[in-house]
Amino acid sequence: SVEKGVREKMDMGVLAGFPMVDMKVAVYDGTYHDVDSSDIAFKIAGSLALEAAAKKAGLTLLEPIMKVEVTIPEQFMGDVIGDLSAKRAQILSSEHHGKSVIITALVPLSEMSGYVTTLRSMTQGRGSVYMEPSHYEEVPQNIADKIVAKAKGESKES
């Protein structure tokens, strides 16, 4: 029952309702009382203990990072790199292939919404993009604060 409470709290999350991952939980001590002990009491205890421990340990909000390959005519390279940089991209490489350039970058998934349309507008319809998941990274604190505030229903202006 303690494990069930811990697993449910991990799924619900402590920080803005996002699930918790990459954790190890160990129970070192516990007692049982014939009258006061029940499955629900142990489940609640597990949930509360995980929440308290997570807050004490410090929580980190992670975001998915995509490996992005953008293929464009070379005359649009400056505009596209500028746009990717504005999306918190880390440019890994740019390779020239004839009159085309392939730009490889790591970009937060949250920044890529509607990117195909943006890219086509910037390149007169001649750009293409390929994305695949790469890894997770810590969300910058200023952005994490906004995400948490939004999830809690607060409005936080910067």
State in words which class domain 62-138 has: alpha beta
Q: SS3 for 152?
A: coil
Per-residue pLDDT tens digits for 54-113: 888 877 888 999 999 999 999 999 999 999 999 999 999 999 999 999 999 999 999 999
For 36-77, the three-class secondary structure string (H helix, E strand, C coil) is CCCHHHHHHHHHHHHHHHHHHHCCCCEEEEEEEEEEEEHHHH
- pLDDT, the chain, mean: 86
pTM above 0.75, yes or no: no
Measured distance CA(1)–CA(42) in Å, rounded = 5
Kindly report, as residue ranges, where domains of CATH 3.30.70.240 are found in the chain.
62-138
pLDDT band at 115 (very low <50, low <70, confident <90, very high): very high
pLDDT band at 147 (very low <50, low <70, confident <90, very high): confident
